[in-house]
Amino acid sequence: MVNGPKALDDEDDTFLPSEKETLKKSMTLMRQLLMDAQAKILKMMDDNKQLALRIDGAIQSASQEVTNLRSELTATSRRLAEISASEPTTIMENNQHNTQGEGDVFFSFCFFFFNAKLNFKVFCVCL
């Protein structure tokens, strides 16, 4: 990693003075470009970490929702199994005595038929 610009040694007589000046400017420009690129990469890495945290949170939230829905589905399946296992057809009767006129007695019956396998329901009221 480049931490900052570094001065070119003036003691080195390998280059002519004009070449040294051009080399210094080129090196300074390259170092600056490298430092800019490193800063951008570090920023992108930080942005990616933040995005990863948000994605992780969304995944955990979705996973929790799936768990809740599975639990609800299991409970519903269990209730349906209990209802269908008790009797394939459930009959409820409601007897009521109604007096009409003089001594006439009527019975009302209420039947409810349910078949879970066929998802079939019938409700009858007989007066």
Confidence of residue 93 (pLDDT cuts 50, 70, 90): very low
0.75 surpassed by pTM: no
Averaged pLDDT score across all residues of the chain: 76
| CA 121/CA 127 separation, integer angstroms | 20
Q: What is the model's pLDDT at position 81?
A: 84
DSSP 19-33: HHHHHHHHHHHHHHH
**69 backbone dihedrals φ, ψ, rounded to 5°:** -65, -40
Q: And the tokens for 41?
A: 């990469």
Q: What is the model's pLDDT at position 122?
A: 57
Tell me what the mean pLDDT of segment 58-80 comes to: 92
Please give the single-letter amino acid code of residue 18: S
